[in-house]
Amino acid sequence: MKANTRNQTVIPGRGAMQLATLMLAAWVLGGCAVNPVTGKNELAFVSTAEEIQIGQQQYEPMRQMGGGDYVVDAELTEYVAGVGNRLAAVSDRDLPYEFAVINDSTPNAWALPGGKIAIHRGLLVELGSEAELAAVLGHEIVHAAARHGAQSMQRGMLLQGAMVATSVAANASDYGSLLMTGAGIGAQLVNTKYGRDAERESDSYGMEYMSRAGYNPEAAVQLQETFLRLSGNRQSGWLDGLFASHPPSAERVRNNQAKAAELPSTGEYFRDRYQQATARIRASQSAYDAHDRGRRALAEGKLDIALNEAQQALRQEPDEALFHNLRGDIRSAQQRWSDATINYSRAIDRNPGYFYAHMRRGIAHKALGRTGEAVEDLQASIDRLPTAPAMNALGELRLAAGQRGEAMQLFAAAASSNSPDGRAAAVSLMRLELKDKPSKYLKARVGTDNSGRLLAEIQNPTPLPVTVKSVLFEYIDQAGQTRRVTRTLNSRLDAESSRRFAVDNAIASALRDLRSIRAGVSGAELAE
């Protein structure tokens, strides 16, 4: 996304709208095709070009959401990409493969359509050889090459048809915050629990790719045995990561053993090379453990403990932006905003491409009254990953500057997130547009009581008290004519409450059919 000036706000959404159009077109125009990996005939509603575009659109947001790219050791990412490219070169499908290392302790790996693949730092430290890494990456390559992600999308299309595209398009103004709540297309694809057939194909063909690339496929057997043992121990980190979408089983171990028996066992493990390539993250593991403990302590409000853990992590690995972010978050919790900006600046210096420090520094600048700096940081954060906190904070700044239209767009985008900032944005938006759009927030309906008396009910599901000024009734009269009548009410409704009142006799006696009458709030204002 292009950089923006301080006086210009970019509201995300065009990418989601384009994705919705792609998906709808694919559903309408799709047909049969031969799977490039399995050779089987199958329905193909998503073309290769569309797979690639979807993967490209979702890859950056998903990496940002996962924790950002691991940048402390650039050579490690180059090494992982080298192993991935070695496997991709012998795969059954030519795609623009990319490989990233995500800076997160959760042991996980995932693939998007079009060959966009990521592995988490937390999984790399659990592997014992390059061959095991090849087993993980080969498995993910098959998910992309065999169109497993695209097939998941197709199943959704077959069940929902054009509703898939309509849903994405309807929420286009809040593409980023939808991702934050797990409702984005990329998050859905990454979190999909693949079926047994897809997992079996990825294991089997991934082992073939390993063998073709010179790795010993027995490493895939050993890896699945390890995974099965860890899942039996119910280690939460594993259950939250790889096992959630790739559940291990004794059946998978047996299948891998049978497959390995069919393949040459002359490949390499490259254990020493792997240990050398991952030496830094292994040496720094205790620092990341301290960081993770500090995060948990911060969430529990134990700020002194969190600070001690952050200090321990920073002493061991001062170049890690995550650790500076943790310290900044602690200072923010203490409302030591100036100190927090220093910590976030250090994080940005070390990883400028990650959204989080920009967002948090922008919020800290806002608390200090540094409007220009806050706007710049918040927009930089939104450019990288739109989130409800950044959009809500920037909306407040735009509103304070008299930019009502931009503020409303930002609040509307943030309000799609079911989070504290999303709910705050929804309240701000309601304050701005209740008078113009009362029926958006207040609901009205007409019915009868047990005695047959015609009643109207006004509902206020919002968190703010309102005064309902007027109600519009539309109905068909005895002569078959459509009538529209406005009645003054001037009734207060507390937050999350409702009130019933009798519809006047003039409307009740003129009504031809109860089913023809409709009501809507036509005038309202805040009662605060």
How confident is the prediction along the chain (528 residues), in pLDDT tens digits per residue? 333 333 444 445 444 445 545 545 544 445 677 887 877 877 667 788 888 988 898 899 999 989 999 999 999 999 999 999 999 999 999 999 999 999 999 988 999 999 999 999 999 999 999 999 999 999 999 999 988 766 766 555 443 333 333 333 333 333 333 344 333 555 666 555 566 777 888 889 999 999 999 999 999 999 988 888 777 665 555 555 565 556 667 888 899 999 999 999 889 999 999 999 999 999 999 999 999 999 999 999 999 999 999 999 999 999 999 999 999 999 999 999 999 999 999 999 999 999 999 999 999 999 999 999 999 999 999 999 999 999 999 999 999 999 999 999 999 999 988 889 999 999 999 999 999 999 999 999 999 988 889 999 999 999 999 999 999 999 999 999 999 999 999 999 999 999 999 999 999 999 988 889 999 999 999 997
Give me the half-sphere count of Cα atoms (radius 13 Å) on the Cβ side of residue 19: 26
Cross-strand bridge partners of residue 525: 467
Ordered domains of the chain (ranges, CATH): 48-147+193-281 (no CATH), 285-359 (1.25.40.10), 438-526 (2.60.40)
DSSP-derived letter for residue 475 is E
Nearest to residue 406, comparing CAs of 394, 423, 416?
394
Look up residue 277 and give its two tokens. Answer: 């390539």
Distance between CA atoms of residues 205 and 84, nearest Å: 15
Distance between CA atoms of residues 293 and 279, nearest Å: 22
Distance between CA atoms of residues 193 and 244, nearest Å: 7
**What is the pTM for the complete model shown?**
0.85
Look up residue 180 and give its two tokens. Answer: 């934050």
